[in-house]
């Protein structure tokens, strides 16, 4: 009996380690009021995936949906998307692989792009583009036809004053979205500068109360500015302001470690 239970235990452990969840990501973008732009939806660790479905949501007061385009996997097109609730900030998708009995396998691949227009009346506002279960529930299935789920990594769209936007190809300063986001422990913000400069980071909660401030002098190069997870008093959304010289960028942080 003991050996039988040990065998079952080992089998469950083995089964639990065979299937790894894929990671789905929406990219982050800085945009000017009124600008039309796209975000990239991509996936990693797809192994014999035969179907996937999920929803994306965003704040419709910050950006408005335009279209879905640039489909990069077989059998995926505009007909796989339901935009009936796009004016409420929700987009559903459902895909099934009709081209192969073994599904698709990609270490890393782009799936599609979503085009938005930034609200012309809003400046210094942000919205996450989040994976969600409404109006379409989250399900990812491999050839076993079992739902293996996903690891979501949500991007952030930030609408900035045009004076704070620069040509990224020529910009002396590049400030990226924090990685990872959402996060449960520490996270970091990638910053690249071509000249030495002062850096200031301020984090506030949604009521406007400051919970963190950090300043330092940085030299030319790529830097990973660490933000410790223990500064956050509770799970939730926080606003992060990064100031380098005269360039200021606002980001949303999603903490989930309590």
Domain CATH number, residue 39: 2.60.40.680
d(CA 153, CA 180): 8
Domain of residue 178 covers 166-255
221 falls within a domain = yes
Tens-digit pLDDT profile for residues 24-79: 999 888 888 889 999 999 999 999 999 999 999 999 999 999 999 999 998 999 99
Give the separation between CA 53 and CA 148, rounded to whole angstroms.
Answer: 12
Question: At 6, which helix (H) or strand (E)?
Answer: helix 2-18
pLDDT of res. 164: 55
H helix or E strand, kind and range, residue 188? strand 187-193
Domain closes at, from 141, 159, 177: 159
Cβ neighbours, 10 Å, residue 54: 21
Query: Same domain, yes or no, for 49 and 155?
Result: yes
Q: Does residue 42 form part of some domain?
A: yes
Do 72 and 181 fall into the same domain? no
Q: For the domain that residue 251 is a member of, what is the CATH number?
A: 2.60.40.1930
| CA distance linking residue 12 with residue 14, whole number of Å | 5
pLDDT-derived band at 172 (thresholds 50, 70, 90) equals low
Percentage of the chain lying above the pLDDT 90 cut: 45
* Tokens of residue 130, six digits: 């989040």
201 in the same domain as 142: no
Q: Which of 26, 117, 102 is nearest to 63 (CA)?
A: 117
**Domain shared by 105 and 42, yes or no:** yes
Q: Which pair of structure tokens corresponds to residue 68?
A: 């879905």
| Nearest C-alpha neighbor of 29 from the set 52, 6, 54, 58 | 58
CA distance 116 to 94: 20
Q: How far apart are CA 32 and CA 20, in angstroms?
A: 39
Domain boundary among 159, 188, 220: 159
Q: Verify that 194 and 132 share a domain, yes or no.
A: no
Same domain? For 52 and 135 the reply is yes
In this prediction, residue 13 has a pLDDT band, given cuts at 50, 70 and 90, of very low
Pair (93, 120) in one structural domain: yes
pTM score over 0.75: no
Of 67 and 1, the structure prediction assigns the larger pLDDT to: 67
Average pLDDT over residues 237-253: 82
Task: Using the predicted structure, report yes or no on whether residue 107 has a pLDDT greater than 80.
Answer: yes
pLDDT at res. 115: 97
User: In this structure, are 142 and 228 located in the same domain?
Assistant: no
pLDDT of residue 14: 40
Q: Distance between CA 14 and CA 246 in Å, rounded?
A: 54
Q: From 208, 251, 214, 211, select the one nearest 234 (Cα to Cα).
A: 211
Share of the chain above pLDDT 70, in %: 88
Long-range contacts of 94-103 (CB under 8 A, 24+ apart): 94/51, 94/53, 94/136, 95/51, 95/52, 95/53, 96/50, 96/51, 97/49, 97/50, 97/51, 98/74, 99/74, 99/75, 100/74, 101/143, 102/48, 102/143, 103/48, 103/49, 103/50, 103/142, 103/143
Confidence of residue 6 (pLDDT cuts 50, 70, 90): very low
Contact, 60 vs 98, CB < 8 A?
A: no
* Domain total of the chain: 2
pLDDT in tens, 119-168: 988 777 888 899 999 999 999 999 988 899 998 888 888 887 665 554 44
Residue 193 binned pLDDT confidence (cut-offs 50, 70, 90): confident
Residue 247 pairs in a beta bridge with 244
Instruction: Tell me whether residue 2 is in a domain.
Output: no
Asked if residue 10 is part of any domain, the answer here is no
DSSP type of residue 2: H
Q: Out of 159, 175, 197, pick the residue that ends a domain.
A: 159
Q: Is residue 150 domain-shared with residue 188, that is, in the same domain?
A: no
Q: Is there a contact between 157 and 39 (Cβ–Cβ < 8 Å)? A: yes
- Same-domain check for residues 27 and 98: yes
- Is residue 12 in some structural domain? no
Same domain, 36 and 135: yes
Residue 103, φ and ψ in degrees, nearest 5: 75, -170
């Amino acid at each position: 009996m003991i050996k039988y239970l040990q065998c079952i235990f080992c089998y469950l452990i083995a089964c639990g380690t065979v299937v790894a969840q894929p990671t789905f990501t929406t990219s982050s973008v800085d945009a000017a009021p009124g600008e039309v732009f796209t975000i990239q939806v991509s996936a990693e660790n797809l192994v014999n995936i035969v179907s996937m479905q999920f929803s994306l949501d965003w704040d419709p007061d910050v950006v408005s949906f335009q279209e879905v385009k640039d489909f990069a996997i077989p059998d995926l097109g505009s007909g796989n998307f339901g935009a009936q609730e796009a004016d409420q900030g929700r987009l559903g998708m459902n895909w099934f692989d009709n081209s192969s009995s073994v599904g698709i396998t990609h270490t890393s691949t782009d799936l599609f792009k979503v085009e938005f227009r930034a609200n012309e009346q809003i400046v210094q506002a942000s919205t996450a583009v989040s994976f969600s279960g409404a109006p379409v529930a989250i399900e990812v299935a491999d050839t076993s036809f079992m739902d293996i789920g996903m690891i979501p990594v949500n991007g952030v769209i930030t609408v900035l004053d045009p004076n704070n936007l620069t040509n990224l190809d020529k910009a002396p300063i590049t400030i990226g979205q924090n990685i990872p986001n959402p996060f449960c422990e520490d996270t970091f913000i990638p910053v690249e500068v071509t000249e030495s400069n002062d850096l200031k980071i301020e984090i506030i909660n949604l009521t406007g109360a400051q919970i963190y401030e950090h300043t330092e002098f940085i030299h030319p190069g790529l830097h990973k500015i660490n933000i410790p997870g223990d500064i956050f008093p509770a799970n939730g959304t926080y606003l992060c302001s990064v100031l380098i010289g005269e360039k200021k960028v606002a980001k949303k942080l999603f903490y989930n470690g309590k």
